[in-house]
Amino acid sequence: MLSNLFSNVNVTNKLFTLNDAKIFKTLAKEDNSEELSAKEIDESLSLPFEKNKGKKALIKAFSFQPNLNGYGVIVKERKEELEKGLEKIKSLNEVKFVVSKKDKVISEDLKAYGDVLRVSPMTDLYEKKLISKAYEDNDDVVIYDILDVIKLGQALLGKDIESFITVYGSAVNGNKVISINKNTTYKNVFEALDGKEDILIKVIDGGSLNGTPVYDLNSVIKSESRGILYLTDKDVPSNKSYSCINCSKCLRVCPEGLNPIKLMDLYKRKEKEEFIKFGGNKCIDCGLCSFVCPANLEIAQTIKTAKKFN
């Protein structure tokens, strides 16, 4: 069954909420690779931060993707590691935090460490806007994800380096943040969360707006992964799409100012040059055009495929 996962790339419009305030730890496959010493890990993780010494830092603790916001739980549960990472970054940079204005809890928690800006989750898609909200002088600002600050803290404390992902979907006992290591597979997580093979139809790595399908559950979860959806029919009520009704919603929502439906048509007509002329390669794969489309068209997924062919 697991090798026959549904190949449709359409993600899901369903929004999820966490119902577990603790981090769940999964067991990974045994690690046979050579162990790096804590000192080596510390040096390799510190290096990118050291390179930005003297810049202003904006530490981001939110995502525009509705199913990837496990940050509140992680900040509470990995306080010691966060404080250690912050100590290091504050020795290198001036620091401010940015969170979603919908998330009051994390905002209160981070106030103990510095100024906290609350923005619309959509601001995550506009780096310049995000920076200008925090600092008047926009030059030399670097944005960090707070999860990387926690990893840095873990390295400095000589602890295991964890990746955190939020897991949802009716095929597992999910709605929680889980901690994985570099060898954890999609199957490890599925089994650890009492996954039900008979109802699983689709696995998506990433956000509910722009994630990508996973076809091999035995593959290792990438370290940059932030979320996994183990979906059933219940989560994906309809894969049926209709003809475009020219409502322009996709145009209005596109953060890059593109014409998504036009780009999809150009790809289908194999007009590569026109696709580029209309800015197809500037698409940032946010998935919002598909999310808002009342005709359930796979616009973002088609553009993503189109870019690979250019």
Contact 26, 220 (CB under 8 A): no
Q: Which stretch binds ligand SF4 (CB under 6 A): 49-57, 83-91, 244-252, 270-278?
A: 244-252
Using the Cα atoms of residue 170, residue 171, residue 173 and residue 174 in order, give the sign of their dihedral.
negative
Give the nearest distance from C-beta 62 to ligand SF4 in angstroms: 18
- What one-letter code names the amino acid at 223? S
The Cα-based distances of 289 to 129, 139, 181, 211 in angstroms read 21, 31, 33, 14
The interface with ligand SF4 within residues 284-303 (CB under 6 A) comprises 284-289, 292-295, 297, 299-300, 303
Q: Per CB under 6 A, does 254 bind ligand SF4?
A: yes
Q: How many angstroms separate the CA atoms of 193 and 116, rounded?
A: 34
Give the nearest distance from C-beta 252 to ligand SF4 in angstroms: 9
Exposure string of 236-266, with b = 16+ CB inside 10 Å and e = fewer, is: beeeeeeeeeeeebbbebbbeebbbbbbbbb
Binding ligand SF4 by CB under 6 A: which of 161, 228, 283, 306?
A: 283
Binding ligand SF4 by CB under 6 A: which of 261, 267, 275, 306?
A: 261
Binding ligand SF4 by CB under 6 A: which of 256, 268, 277, 305?
A: 256
Q: Per CB under 6 A, does 82 bind ligand SF4?
A: no
Q: Which is nearer to ligand SF4, 173 or 296 (CB)?
A: 296
Binding ligand SF4 by CB under 6 A: which of 74, 250, 266, 306?
A: 250
Q: Is 89 exposed, middle or buried (0-12, 13-18, 19+ CB in 10 A)?
A: buried
Binding mask 21-40 for ligand SF4 (x = CB under 6 A): --------------------
Q: Which is nearer to ligand SF4, 76 or 307 (CB)?
A: 307
Q: Per CB under 6 A, does 244 bind ligand SF4?
A: yes
Q: Per CB under 6 A, does 11 bind ligand SF4?
A: no
Q: Per CB under 6 A, does 228 bind ligand SF4?
A: no
Q: Per CB under 6 A, does 238 bind ligand SF4?
A: no
- In the sheet with 94-100, reading across from the earlier edge strand, the strands are 116-119, 94-100, 56-60, 141-145
Using the Cα atoms of residue 100, residue 145, residue 84 and residue 162 in order, give the sign of their dihedral.
positive
DSSP 238-260: -----------HHHHH-TT---H
Among 253, 258, 292, residue whose Cα is nearest residue 274: 258
Which spans of this chain sit near ligand SF4 (rule: CB under 6 A)? 244-250, 253-256, 258, 260-261, 283-289, 292-295, 297, 299-300, 303
